[in-house]
Each structure stands twice: as structure tokens, then as C-alpha cells.
């Protein structure tokens, strides 16, 4: 009888002991990955980013890519079927650590600022200075805030015409690839394409 009581007291004490760090760490939080570099280093998220980039570039020729793109519910395409709700939060809140390439940034600025007036009087040196200033303004900003800042003028013009979503290939593929430090050539890798054909997103 005494042994039974001792065992019961021990069981009661163990039930009050908080879970160990290793046990609680099994459930990842949406803040676990805090930078675009960390996102791109995660094998699962990197693959999903590659699928999105692939679809941006191929959606006019690949019916499967077109279906996935058209199934998104986010104006910047960061949603299902590419990312779960938790993954969306991680991607959007990731702090940009990589430098935006001149190709991605320059192309974006040229297209965004190419309004109906088509003012081409700005000197080349002034354009380069403007690009540098824009890059400095984006340091330590989140992925979502950088994308919104770059596309704000463009989206306003598209919204006036009834379409608030930017064109993926021309605006987003090089920009997203640059922000996450991904080479767009990876979307042509045969191993990646084989996995995409077998498993999808």
C-alpha cells in the first residue's frame, strides 16, 4: 500500500513538470525564420519559391502553371497553392538581407515609372542615383513591405483599369528571385523539373 501511494505521488509530481525545450520545439512558430536568407535556406520553402518563380515564367505556356497562378488569392501570389497560412506569414515577414540586383531593381523602376507621359528626360546618372537611394530605403525591411513599395505606383495604375495584380513574369520573377538570392536558372534544373512533374507544389 505504501509503495502504491509513493508511486501515485511521483506520478502527480511528473504531471506538473513543464515540457522540455526539445518537446516544445516540435511545433514550429511563424517567427522561426526571420530573413529572406533563412527562407531560401529552408529546403521546403526554397522548393515552393522555385515553383512560384517557374510558374511566373511559364504560365502562358504551361497549363499546370497557369492553374496554380490563377488559384492564388493574394495580389502578390503569396498564398495557396504555393504556401500554407503559416508559410505565408513567414515569407511576408522575412527581413530582406540580400541585395536587390541591378537587373531586377532597374527593370522594375523603369517599368513602374514608365507612365503615360513617358518622360525620358531624366539623366542616366540621376537614374542610377535614384536606384541606389531606393535600395538603401529597403534595407532591413520585410519582403512584403519591399514588394508593396516597389509596386505601389504600378498597382495604382492597374487598379484604375480594373486589374490590381501585377504581371508575374515582367515584374515579380526577377524581383522575388533577387530578394531571396535565387538564380532563375534553378527553375530550369532537370532535377527540380522532375520533382515538379511528379509531386507538384
Instruction: Please tell me whether residue 57 adopts helix, strand or coil conformation.
Output: helix
- At 172, the pLDDT band (50, 70, 90 cuts) reads confident
Asked whether the predicted pLDDT for residue 58 surpasses 70, the reply is: yes
Helix-then-strand count for the chain, H and E: 11, 0
Output the pLDDT for position 171: 73
Q: DSSP for 66-131?
A: HHHHHT--STTS-STTTS-HHHHHHHHHPBP-SPPPHHHHHHHHHHHT--TT----S-HHHHHHHH
Asked whether the predicted pLDDT for residue 160 surpasses 80, the reply is: no
114 or 86: whose pLDDT is higher? Answer: 86
Upper half-sphere CA count for residue 173 (Cβ side, 13 Å): 20
Asked whether the predicted pLDDT for residue 13 surpasses 80, the reply is: no
b/e sequence 24-61, b meaning 16+ C-beta within 10 Å:
eeeeeeeeebebbeebbeeeebbbbbbbbbbbbbbbee
Instruction: Please tell me whether residue 142 adopts helix, strand or coil conformation.
Output: strand
Output the pLDDT for position 99: 72
**Tens digit of pLDDT for each residue in 64-82?**
999 999 999 998 999 999 9
Asked whether the predicted pLDDT for residue 54 surpasses 90, the reply is: yes
Comparing 38-42, 102-106, 133-137, 177-181, the range with the smallest average pLDDT is 133-137
Task: Determine what percent of the chain falls in helix, strand and coil, rounding each to the nearest 5.
Answer: 65, 0, 35
158 or 35: whose pLDDT is higher? Answer: 35
Output the pLDDT for position 120: 41
Amino acid at each position: 500500500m505504501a509503495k502504491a501511494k509513493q508511486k501515485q505521488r511521483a506520478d502527480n509530481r511528473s504531471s506538473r513538470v513543464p515540457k522540455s525545450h526539445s518537446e516544445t520545439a516540435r511545433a514550429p512558430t511563424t517567427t522561426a525564420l526571420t530573413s529572406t536568407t533563412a527562407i531560401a535556406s529552408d529546403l521546403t520553402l526554397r522548393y515552393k519559391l522555385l515553383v512560384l518563380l517557374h510558374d511566373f515564367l511559364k504560365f502562358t505556356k504551361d497549363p499546370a502553371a497557369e492553374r496554380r497562378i490563377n488559384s492564388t488569392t493574394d495580389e502578390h501570389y503569396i498564398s495557396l497553392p504555393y504556401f500554407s497560412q503559416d508559410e505565408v506569414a513567414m515569407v511576408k515577414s522575412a527581413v530582406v538581407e540580400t541585395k536587390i540586383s541591378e537587373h531586377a531593381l532597374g527593370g522594375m523602376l523603369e517599368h513602374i515609372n514608365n507612365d503615360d507621359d513617358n518622360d525620358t528626360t531624366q539623366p542616366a546618372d540621376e537614374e542610377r542615383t535614384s536606384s541606389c537611394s531606393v535600395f538603401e530605403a529597403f534595407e532591413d525591411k520585410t519582403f512584403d513591405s519591399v514588394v508593396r513599395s516597389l509596386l505601389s505606383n504600378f498597382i495604382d495604375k492597374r487598379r484604375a483599369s480594373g486589374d490590381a495584380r501585377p504581371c508575374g513574369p515582367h515584374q515579380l520573377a526577377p524581383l522575388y528571385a533577387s530578394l531571396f538570392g535565387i538564380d532563375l536558372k534553378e527553375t530550369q534544373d532537370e532535377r527540380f523539373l522532375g520533382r515538379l512533374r511528379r509531386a507538384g507544389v
